[in-house]
A and B are shown apart, each in its own frame.
Chain A
Amino acid sequence: MRFAVKENLAQLFFSGAAVLSGAATLLILGFMILLSLPVLESGLLMNILTDPWSPGHGQFGILAMIVGTLYIAGLSLLIGFPISLGCSFFIQITSPHGPGKLLKKLVQFMTAIPTVIYGFVGVFLLVPVVRQVFSYGSGMSILTASLMLGILICPTMILFFSQSFARVPKNFLLAADALGGTPFQKLIYVIIPHAWPGLLTGLILGFGRAMGDTLIALMISGNSVMLPSSILDSARTLTAHIAMIIAADFDSIEFKTIFICGSVLYLLTSCGILAARILDRRQQG
Chain B
Amino acid sequence: MTNKIKIQIRDLWFYYNTNLILEDIHLDIRKNCITCITGPSGQGKSTFLMTLNRLWENIDGAKSQGIINIDFENGFEEITVPGYPLPQLRQKVGMVFQTPNPLPMGIYKNVAFPLKLIGEKNRDSNFEKVKTALKKAFLWEEVKDRLTQDASLLSGGQQQRLCIARTLVLNPQILLLDEPTSSLDETSVEMIEQLLVILKQDCTIIMVSHYMDQIKRIADTTLVLSNRQLSKQ
Contact = CB atoms under 8 A, between A and B. Distances in A.
Contact of A172 (B58, B86, B103, B166): B103
Interface stretch (B6-14, B87-95, B131-139, B209-217): B87-95
Interface in A165-216: 171-172, 174-182, 185, 189-190, 193-194
Interface in B1-22: none
A175 B88 CA distance: 15
Given A180-B86, A180-B87, A193 B104 contact: yes
A96 B58 CA distance: 10
Interface string B149-169: 000000000000001001100
A264 B83 CA distance: 55
B151 to A, nearest CB: 11
A2 interface: no
Contacts, number: 62
- In which size bucket is the chain B interface? 20 to 34
Contact of A181 (B94, B104, B117): B117
The interface residues of chain A, by DSSP majority, are classed as helix
B90 A178 contact: yes
Interface string B92-111: 00110101011111000000
Interface residues of A, number: 18
Contacts of B101: 171-172, 174-175
A282 interface: no
A190 B103 contact: yes
B55 interface: yes
Given A171-B101, A172-B101, A174-B97, A179 B60 contact: no
B113 interface: yes
B171 to A, nearest CB: 13
Contacts of B58: 174, 177
B60 A97 contact: yes
B112 to A, nearest CB: 11
Given A172-B104, A185-B117, A190-B103, A179 B91 contact: yes
B88 A189 contact: no
Given A171-B101, A172-B104, A189-B116, A177 B91 contact: no
B89 A178 contact: no
A177 B55 contact: yes
B127 to A, nearest CB: 19
A185 to B, nearest CB: 6
B55 A178 contact: yes
A179 B104 contact: no
Interface string B45-76: 00000000101001011000000000000000
A175 B117 contact: no
A172 B163 CA distance: 12
B39 interface: no
Given A175-B101, A179-B90, A189-B116, 12 more contacts: A97-B60, A172-B103, A175-B166, A177-B58, A178-B53, A178-B55, A179-B113, A179-B170, A180-B88, A180-B89, A180-B170, A194-B104
8 contacts: A97-B61, A175-B101, A176-B103, A177-B58, A179-B113, A179-B114, A181-B117, A182-B87
- Minimum-distance CB pairs A-B, first 5: A180-B90, A180-B87, A171-B101, A180-B91, A178-B95
